[in-house]
Chain A
Amino acid sequence: MNADIMLKISGLRAGINGEEILRGIDLEVRAGEVHAIMGPNGSGKSTLAHILSGRPGYEVMAGEVLFQGKDLLALEPEERACEGIFLGFQYPVEIPGVNNNYFLKAALNAIRKYRGEEELDAFDLLKIMKEKAALVELDPSLLNRAVNEGFSGGEKKRNEIFQMAVLDPKLAILDETDSGLDIDALRIVAEGINRLRRSDNAMILITHYQRLLDYIQPDYVHVLSGGRIIKSGDSSLALALEEQGYAWLDTAPGSSAKGS
């Protein structure tokens, strides 16, 4: 096994309620890489994100997923988070009565505890929160509100990126982070993501449209259709999709999805 590979998906077949949605996915992601997964509605993009993050209700029918050499699919959702996976939700969940700050402190310390690191005290946590809020241009007053409750669409997405900044995952899977954002909000969210991009972490951007990729240059673009990756390429593939839509790919033969 190549030690450089952070995530390796092999022959993954999965679905929900007995219906197969992913019909054999192969994908490799290395540290420092940004992969964009594009595709029409119903192609299985969000299913892939949920399977990787461990959302209950989804079934894996075949294949395996290794994350840093570990069997990812055998882990509970929180264990995946502690191992370094982060899912940016397409529809961030409102949690009434739970303070944003309090929630994130508990999450960060749970992750640190799992990794055998010392839990941070209130002072250090506050410092991190302030610093990361500035990084993603999140209004600090939102930190003392209930998680996502009454947030605008843009604030919710920015809060996802803020959480990502605080939890500092190795692999972030951002599910339609651009959906529902106006152009200014999109720019701020994209800039936040760019600031978090490093040589020792990786990202999978799931998106329907190319416009997020105007701001974030991916290393690889994959087209998902009918539960399979039918084409992979560099960022120019996204531009071709923008111009021609997905229809021209339907008849194209599936090509290698190896991101190398």
Chain B
Amino acid sequence: MKSSQTVAPGDLFGADLARAHDELSAPSWLTALRRAGEARFRASGLPTTAQEEWRYTSLAAIAKGGFRWSGGTGAGRDLSSVAASALPALEAGSMRLVFVDGAYAADLSTLGPESGAGVWVGSLAAALAESPPWLEQHLGRYAAPDHSALVGLNTAFADDGALLHLPPGTRLSGPLHILFVAAGACVAAHPRVLICAGERSAATVVEEYRSAAGASTHYNNAVVEMSLGTAAEITHVRLVAENEGGCHTAMVQVRQGADSRYNCHQVTTGGALVRVDTRVELAAPGAECVLRGLYALRGTMHADHHTFVDHASPECHSDERFKGVVDDAAHAVFNGRVLVRPDAQQTVATQQNPNVLLSPDACVDTKPELEIYADDVKCEHGATIGQMDPLALFYLQSRGLDQAAARTMLIRGFAAEIIDGIGVPGLGQRLHDELFGSAPQPSVVAASSGMERS
């Protein structure tokens, strides 16, 4: 029987960090980034509930989980259990980058013709081999290694991930699907996404987290960095559907240029422990961001969504709406911070967080934080926590629907605003079916999944 490792708090992931020194080769600038990230993580370790930002979310499950890094992208992985045909897909012909336990899986991926036309779509590992000049300029710049302990930890292992580089005026003809699949046992992966959108460029990116049917507990610690040039437009869909043993922490850091538009749709439906930080810096006049979110939690799931919209420039708009459906003994946390800096006149900022509790044991902690230092602004916020409307339930039942069907229909209606607003063809229907349909969730693994892993 394997003895569970006891790790001193100061040395969490210590063996893996040491391994990364030996195993990860790279240009010197990246090595320097990794070391800075490692130093940041080692300085404080995982955040604790003693920190205000983490008050409602304990990472003890991660500290005690015994998660081990599965090695760099060259380490090789057994992908036999992950069947390409069973992976969730967007429309036929869509570009798809698939990562298994953090490493790019070329055989499972499909690249479009765009990769030739000045647009760079592909894996970080492949890009490092060619080392285009923009890579060093952007990687680790928006989410810097010393940004936070978790970003530091991710950066210390930075080796692979998804890249999208759009030169000025280019646009992707269809959505890019970035799929991170957890397949191993007790694996810690540190997915990284970098999107550099040049002036007037545009793209839609669907970033999705799934667990293979044979996967046990695992930990994804993701970092997404994004830079939008003048008048660029990025639609970013982020789907977190880890299995019931999956832990997921993520930092989404976006910097927006003048007149750019960032549309973000986050849907969190699975994972034992999920924490997503989304930080959008409206760095130049006329930038606009739309944040939409849905968390649908059941069982004993815990999901914490922290957002921070930084109005650092005048005449910017932010429009945020996160909705929650919380059932059983699940726990949801929402914290929405909006900062309007002194120069950010004529800011328009709205934030809404409606929640529905479906069970007496379900719990929501919601907290809006508005800090406004400019005087010519229009800001509003609201958070509500309610139960299912008994009159609406009766109305549906009086037309012949049984209570279970009526409940599902009402929850579906509540969630529809966010799901239907995603706008990626076929994706809304898939999410509806997964959340509310009788069809089982698509499994990403073939029936005979014999995982072998050292």
Using a CB–CB distance below 8 Å, which chain A residues touch chain B?
53-57, 76-78, 80-82, 86-87, 89, 92-93, 95-98, 103-104, 106-108, 110-111, 114, 146, 163, 167
Contacts and interface: CB of A to CB of B under 8 A. Distances in A.
Contacts of A114: 400
A55 B394 contact: yes
Contacts of B397: 54, 76-78, 81
Contact of A93 (B395, B414, B416): B395
Given A103-B409, A106-B409, A110-B405, A87 B416 contact: no
A107 B412 contact: no
A76 B400 CA distance: 10
Interface string B409-432: 110111111000000000000000
B403 interface: yes
B437 to A, nearest CB: 13
A87 B414 CA distance: 25
B403 A98 contact: no
B391 A93 contact: yes
Contacts of B395: 89, 92-93, 95
19 contacts: A54-B397, A56-B390, A77-B397, A78-B399, A78-B406, A80-B398, A81-B400, A86-B398, A93-B389, A93-B391, A95-B409, A96-B413, A96-B414, A96-B417, A98-B409, A104-B399, A106-B405, A107-B396, A110-B401
A104 B397 CA distance: 12
Nearest to B414: A97
A86 B417 CA distance: 30
From B390, B397, B410, name the one whose CB has the most chain A CB atoms within 10 angstroms: B397
B417 A93 contact: no
Nearest to A93: B395
Contact of A97 (B391, B400, B402, B415): B415
B398 A87 contact: yes
Contacts of B402: 76, 78, 110
B357 to A, nearest CB: 18
B126 interface: no
Given A107-B400, A110-B401, A146-B413, 9 more contacts: A55-B394, A78-B397, A89-B395, A95-B413, A97-B415, A106-B409, A107-B396, A108-B400, A114-B400
B419 to A, nearest CB: 9
Nearest to A85: B398
A59 B409 CA distance: 27
B392 interface: yes
Nearest to B417: A97
Interface string B361-395: 00000000000000000000000000001111011
Q: Looking at chain B's contact residues, is the secondary structure mostly helix, strand, loop, or mixed?
A: helix
Contacts of A57: 390
A209 B416 CA distance: 40
The listed residue with most A CB atoms (<10 A of its CB), out of B398, B410, B414, B417, is B398
A172 B181 CA distance: 54
A32 B358 CA distance: 43
A107 B392 CA distance: 14
A164 to B, nearest CB: 10
Given A56-B394, A103-B396, A78 B413 contact: no
A111 B397 CA distance: 11
A208 B414 CA distance: 35
A-B complex: 9 closest residue pairs judged by Cβ atoms: A97-B413, A97-B416, A98-B413, A81-B400, A107-B399, A77-B397, A93-B395, A111-B400, A110-B400
Contacts of B413: 95-98, 146
B351 to A, nearest CB: 19
A143 to B, nearest CB: 15
Contacts of A87: 398
Nearest to B416: A97
Contacts of A56: 390, 394
A103 B412 contact: no
Contacts of A77: 394, 397-398
| B398, B399, B400, B409 interface centre (most CB from chain A within 10 Å) | B400
B415 A53 contact: no
A187 to B, nearest CB: 26
Contacts of A108: 400
Given A89-B395, A93-B392, A106-B405, A98 B410 contact: yes
A219 B410 CA distance: 39
A103 to B, nearest CB: 7
A81 B395 CA distance: 11
Nearest to A80: B398
Nearest to B418: A97
Contacts of A92: 395
A95 B398 contact: no
A107 B413 CA distance: 15
B429 to A, nearest CB: 13
Contacts of A96: 413-414, 417
B392 A106 contact: no
Pick the most buried of A86, A87, A107: most chain B CB atoms within 10 A of its CB: A107
Contacts of B415: 97
Given A93-B395, A95-B395, A96-B417, A76 B403 contact: yes
Contacts of A95: 392, 395-396, 409-410, 413
Nearest to B409: A98
Given A56-B390, A98-B412, A163 B417 contact: no
Given A95-B392, A95-B410, A97-B412, A81 B398 contact: yes
Contacts of B403: 76, 78
Contacts of A76: 397, 402-403
A106 B390 contact: no
Contacts of A86: 398
Interface-central residue, B394, B399, B406, by most chain A CB under 10 Å = B399
A196 to B, nearest CB: 16
